[in-house]
Amino acid sequence: MKQLKAFNIVLLTLALGIVSCKTKQADKQQQAQEVTAKPNIIFILADDLGYGDVGFNGQDKIKTPNIDKLAANGMIFTNHYTGSSVCGPSRAVLMTGKHTGHSTVRGNPRWTASGTPVDINAEDVTVAEELKRAGYTTGIVGKWGLAENLADGLPNKQGFDYFYGFNQHSPAHHYYPESIFENEKRITLDGNNPQTKDGQHIHYLITEKATEFIDKNHKEPFFLYLSYTMPHFELTILEKEKEQYKNLGWPKRKMKPGHYRHDEDGHITYAAMVSTMDRDIGNLVKQLENLDVADNTLIVFTSDNGHEYDDLKNEFFNSNGDFKGHKRDLYEGGIHTPFVAYWPNQIKAGSTTHHISAFWDFLPTACELAGIKPSDKIDGISYLPTLLGQNDKQQKHDYLYWEFNEREGPIQAVRQNNWKAVKFDQKPVELYDLNQDISEQNNIADKHPEKAKELLSFINNSRTEHPEFPLVKKTLKKK
């Protein structure tokens, strides 16, 4: 009898061992499936592209068929905002999930109290660092602009496995730069001359490196930050790209070369630059399809701030749509930019959302996609529920906040639901109802004093002090 009991115990032990082994194997398989299920993330950022510069927002002169196709097969955000109305702080907000009242970089390099550029630092936690924790391979190709001092702000020190592009702002102003960085090594571009525009146009090299990154890393989850420099001044592109816009009877806007080595005909050049970028985005989507990873890749397309090119006194492209202002404004034209998200079989094709979101929401969205929580205190809220059509689960901001201090600054702004407040230094707060007045033409602060007071309190209590970015009138420091 004892022998039988002992035998049964052995059998039970073996059975439990087999079950335990199978459970561990199942757990490993589930973990592997979860890793595989993590979507690739490609964030495409245009430079100085206006809300109205794309077809899905009403553009009828510039051709953007591939971006429009992303919109037709994805989701358009009608209420998405940038981090700032100029490039440096906007990109810092995008990377760190903190708005300009809390971010390390709150202005472009020379607009600091000391005149010394401020970069993101070792304490900042970027979206790339977060995604690295979740097993992603990370890369940035194009304009970084957050390492003016070539120190802690370098992309490879901020969570990126691969970098090809511009660490600093001024070199990114030219499309035929003498050198470019690959990781932390400066590479000379033989034959390039930014003054004569000889050599290789950097847009094509940026596109090539993005393609190489995807080819090399598509078998595991990857994050690619594709940060194009077009259509930022200077306006220049290969002549072959302009052919589709010649002989259309457009009036000629003659551009005068200075710091920016513009091509002569502004309208044709600007349109050709946008369409060239559009074509290459289309090629990138085809690449994903050919590699059989399109269905597991989220593509986001937007712009870093409002447009600069279109002359507000004599608009030709209507680059800001119905909005007031453009780059360097905290009116809608400076911070309300095109935004489309595309993810086959996950995002409902042809959908539109009016959810109010901003650049500081990208980091928590990426974290939720990767199955992790942000490791730092941030201002952002994930918009993944909106992407997946789960509107009942979508958290909303109490309000959005911006500050900006160049030229006409300091300026602060807040959006709360349909209400928008803009405050210029030493002037009364302006109040607009965007549901009734998207063009911000009618300041109704005197008609709604309590609402104006409420939004002014948000403006006054939404920032931490920063010694290099005090909210006092500034003049540009000379080099």
Pairing of β 297-303 and β 40-46: parallel
Predicted confidence at residue 35, as pLDDT, reads: 37
Compute the average pLDDT of residues 416-439: 97
Task: Report residue 212's pLDDT band, with 50, 70 and 90 as the boundaries.
Answer: very high
Backbone angles phi, psi at 72, to 5 degrees: -65, -30
CATH 3.30.1120.10 in the chain is located at 403-460
Which top CATH class is 403-460?
alpha beta
Predicted confidence at residue 479, as pLDDT, reads: 53
Selected residue with higher pLDDT from 231 and 15: 231
Predicted confidence (pLDDT) at residue 3 exceeds the cutoff of 70: no
Compute the average pLDDT of residues 42-51: 98
* pLDDT tens, residue by residue, 243-254: 999 999 999 999
Torsion angle defined by CA atoms of residues 190, 191, 194 and 196, in that order, rounded to the nearest 10 degrees: 170
The pair of three-digit structure tokens given for residue 105, joined into one six-digit string: 């970089």
Task: Report residue 19's pLDDT band, with 50, 70 and 90 as the boundaries.
Answer: very low
Compute the average pLDDT of residues 101-127: 97
Predicted confidence at residue 182, as pLDDT, reads: 98
Q: What DSSP string describes 406-446? A: STT--EEEEEETTEEEEEETTSPPEEEETTT-TT-----TT
Compute the average pLDDT of residues 88-107: 98
Half-sphere exposure of 459 (CA within 13 A, CB side): 26
Q: Which homologous superfamily is 39-398 in?
A: Alkaline Phosphatase, subunit A (3.40.720.10)
Candidate from 25-34, 163-172, 205-214 with smallest mean pLDDT: 25-34
The pair of three-digit structure tokens given for residue 242, joined into one six-digit string: 């302009």
Predicted confidence (pLDDT) at residue 2 exceeds the cutoff of 50: no
Predicted confidence at residue 71, as pLDDT, reads: 98
Q: Rounded CA gap, 272 and 293, in Å?
A: 30
CATH 3.40.720.10 in the chain is located at 39-398
Residue bearing tokens 């940035």: 140
Compute the average pLDDT of residues 260-289: 98
To the nearest whole number, what is the mean pLDDT of the chain? 93
Predicted confidence at residue 401, as pLDDT, reads: 98
Which of helix, strand or coil describes residue 40? strand
Predicted confidence at residue 16, as pLDDT, reads: 44
Half-sphere exposure of 221 (CA within 13 A, CB side): 22
**Dihedral (CA of 199, 202, 207, 208) sign:** positive
Residue bearing tokens 């995008």: 94
Residue bearing tokens 């870093």: 304
Q: Rounded CA gap, 416 and 414, in Å?
A: 7
Predicted confidence at residue 378, as pLDDT, reads: 98
Indicate the helix (H) or strand (E) that contains 401: strand 400-404
Predicted confidence at residue 475, as pLDDT, reads: 75
Cβ-proximal residues to 200 (8 Å cutoff; 6+ apart), any chain: 176, 189, 191, 192
Task: Report residue 27's pLDDT band, with 50, 70 and 90 as the boundaries.
Answer: very low
Percent of the chain at pLDDT > 90 equals 90
Half-sphere exposure of 176 (CA within 13 A, CB side): 19
One-letter amino acid of 62: I
Which of helix, strand or coil describes residue 403? strand
Hey, which bits of 321-363 come out as E strands? 339-342, 351-353, 357-358
The pair of three-digit structure tokens given for residue 152, joined into one six-digit string: 């802690």
The pair of three-digit structure tokens given for residue 164, joined into one six-digit string: 């090809």
C-beta of residue 54 within 8 angstroms of C-beta of residue 68: yes
Predicted confidence at residue 162, as pLDDT, reads: 98
C-beta of residue 335 within 8 angstroms of C-beta of residue 306: yes
Q: Rounded CA gap, 237 and 353, in Å?
A: 34
Task: Report residue 29's pLDDT band, with 50, 70 and 90 as the boundaries.
Answer: very low
Predicted confidence at residue 154, as pLDDT, reads: 98
Predicted confidence (pLDDT) at residue 391 exceeds the cutoff of 80: yes
Task: Report residue 478's pLDDT band, with 50, 70 and 90 as the boundaries.
Answer: low
Task: Report residue 477's pLDDT band, with 50, 70 and 90 as the boundaries.
Answer: low
* pLDDT tens, residue by residue, 366-389: 999 999 999 999 999 999 999 999
**R_g (Cα) of the chain, nearest Å:** 25
Predicted confidence at residue 37, as pLDDT, reads: 80
List the one residue out of 46, 57, 65 whose CA is nearest residue 244: 65
C-beta of residue 96 within 8 angstroms of C-beta of residue 125: yes
Task: Report residue 469's pLDDT band, with 50, 70 and 90 as the boundaries.
Answer: very high
- DSSP lists the bridge partners of residue 301 as 44, 340
Q: Rounded CA gap, 314 and 9, in Å?
A: 90
